[in-house]
Amino acid sequence: MSPATAALYHELRGLIEEHVREFEPGKADDARINTHVEMVNVVADAILAEPVRTSRDLVACAEVLFWFQWSGIDPQGPQANAENGS
């Protein structure tokens, strides 16, 4: 993974973990959620703008796309397994 993608991926993971921890369904106001999702989206867009050079870069892109498809679920968490039928 390129250093730029690795730094963005690390930032994305932290934002997703924070989002899952802080914004339980029905327990946060929409303005806070929307602000945080926008922060995630900025980092996600930056990851998708990086060239995919390795399989790890591809995994980072896959997690970004997972996030866009199933917003609010940690791609590496137990909810993701339930969503995927695992």
| Overall pTM surpassing 0.85 (yes/no) | no
45-77 burial, b at 16+ Cβ within 10 Å, e below that, comes to ebbeebebeeeebeebbebbebbeeeeebbbee
- Tell me the domain boundaries of the chain: 3-83
- 39 neighbors 15 (Cβ within 8 angstroms): yes
pLDDT tens, residue order, the chain (86 aa): 778 888 988 998 898 888 878 877 666 777 888 888 888 889 889 988 888 888 888 888 888 888 776 655 555 666 655 555 55
